[in-house]
């Protein structure tokens, strides 16, 4: 299960997938990939949903400058090992 350091790394490097709902909200709110990367680098878990319906997840809060960004992140993903494709 991903910890906050893994989540920060993935968000900061743009290694994430968006649901259709999330993509719609990003477009509506004019949130860029750069904003996600910047806010993701400083993200903190503010709520944990260990028993979420599809997989464990959490709500994170990060900032790009003074602008906040809340993201619900699946924690069920595992990072590839050194000999596995990313």
Read out DSSP for 45-78? EEEEETT-SSS-EEEEEEEETTEEEEEEEE----
Global pTM? 0.80
List the domain range (segments joined by +) for residue 24.
4-74
User: Does a structural domain hold residue 65?
Assistant: yes
Instruction: For residue 61, give both structure tokens.
Output: 């809060």
pLDDT of residue 80 exceeding 60, the answer is no
- pLDDT confidence tier of residue 13, bands split at 50, 70 and 90: confident
Domain count of the chain? 1
Strand partners, 70: 61
User: Does a structural domain hold residue 83?
Assistant: no
**44-77 pLDDT, tens per residue?**
999 999 888 888 899 999 999 999 999 999 887 6
């Amino acid at each position: 299960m991903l910890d906050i350091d893994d989540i920060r790394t993935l968000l900061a490097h743009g290694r994430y997938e968006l649901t259709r709902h999330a993509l719609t909200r990003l477009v509506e709110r004019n949130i860029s990939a750069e904003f996600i990367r910047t806010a993701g680098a400083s993200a903190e878990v503010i709520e944990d949903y260990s028993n979420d319906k599809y997989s464990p997840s959490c709500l994170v809060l990060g900032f790009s400058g003074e602008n906040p960004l809340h993201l619900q992140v699946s924690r069920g993903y595992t990072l590839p090992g050194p000999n596995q494709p990313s």
